[in-house]
Amino acid sequence: MKKHPPQREINLFRSLKSVIRCEQASSQCFPRVLMRGTLLDGPGDNFATLNEIPDHNVLLGAEVPEERPARDTCRCDNLVNGRHLETLRQEQLEREMRNLRVQRSPLSFPEGRSNQKTILQVKVTPSAILAHSAFMISNYTDQTVLVTGASSGIGSAFAHALAERGAYLVLVARREDRLHNLAEELRTAHGVIVSVISMDLSSPTVAPDLQRAVLERGLRITSLINNAGFGSFGPFIEQELPRLIDEIAVDVTAPVSLSSVFLPDLLKAGNGFLINLASMAAYTPAPRMAVYAASKAFVLNFTEALWAETRDTGVTVFALSPGATNTEFNAVVGTDDATAGARMRTAGQVVATALKHLERRNPGPSVIDGTGNQAGAAVSKLLNRRAIVTAMNRVTDPQRSK
């Protein structure tokens, strides 16, 4: 019996965590591959147009079953502007893939070696490159992303960036009017599906309540961004206990509880991400912001531990640590002293850092936004604890400039 060369795994879409397996170019051994609805049966199929969009759970490179599994039935009460969610999802996938083409072309080998192997390549028109450059890196159109604290700041910037990339969004915050305005803006600009859930993240039952609200809408969360958080500024002894309890609930309890209830869904989907918002404050003690800095240190350590526990599951987990950012943080805190006159980054820059890290080949457990902040974190590791807390005490002292 003629031996075929060993299979060759080729990463066509690296961040899709899928491969196409190619064998010797013959109709006898070339596998039947499902490439987003198009069958490629052998070398004769030199060109195939992606006309059909399969169920989003069918992976690139999967063997074609005799019958496609039935889609989940769309809930009758799950409508967006009078139209079924599944219909809108199908239409968006078709828009995303309209200009995508699959073509097989020969590999080049050194002289004396066989050149009878082929690979599948993707050709994208210039318009598709401009409109869907992120899709070539990560399949955001298959993602249903829940974003907390989405009504402003970094959360809103995440919503804009992910909607531009075709993700389906579930926006969560207390201010329902802002969420609805943002959702309508995203639907109009990007044609994406956006669900809004108004909820107080300081509630002790936020995790089961939010999980129930998601299920009632017939949604399946594949990615989670725990962005919501706030701080307080001033000597610890002067802080009101109810506010500190709420601060811990939003900054610590909510990320832990939401990760607990939604991580099983993320692992089941196997291709999403979990991003927890830490802070530069996580890397040093912060006098006058003692609870906030300690909360963010917890988030950083908690998330990095999850990163290790979820490796090789297909889910990307990491902590994002912004520094001083032009958001409503100081307004909520009640003073600009909270950022100590630091140079402000924009929320868009923070999100760009996060998505760049997400789209890396092997993302690490955490990422710091901005080279200046990265340098500051590196310097803090060189100092002993006494030196670093003494320095931070001067930095956060409101009388420092007087």
Task: List residues with catalytic annotation.
Answer: 292
Q: How many CA atoms lie within 13 A of 92 on its CB side?
A: 24
The alpha-helical segments, DSSP class H, found in 56-198 are 85-97, 126-131, 153-164, 176-190
Among residues 135, 134, 185, 177, the alpha carbon closest in space to that of 159 is found at: 185
Q: For tokens 């040093």, what's the residue?
A: 284
Write the DSSP string, 312-347: TSS-EEEEEE--SBSSSHHHHHT-GGGGTTPPPBPH
State both tokens at 288. 């006058």
* 331 phi/psi in degrees, rounded to 5: -65, -40
Q: Contact, 282 vs 231, CB < 8 A?
A: no
State both tokens at 240. 């009101």
Strand partners, 229: none
Q: Contact, 47 vs 76, CB < 8 A?
A: no
The CB density around residue 332, as the number of other CB atoms within 10 Å, is 15
Q: Contact, 97 vs 54, CB < 8 A?
A: no
Q: Contact, 361 vs 139, CB < 8 A?
A: no
Q: Contact, 296 vs 330, CB < 8 A?
A: no
State both tokens at 20. 């196409």
CA distance 104 to 175: 51
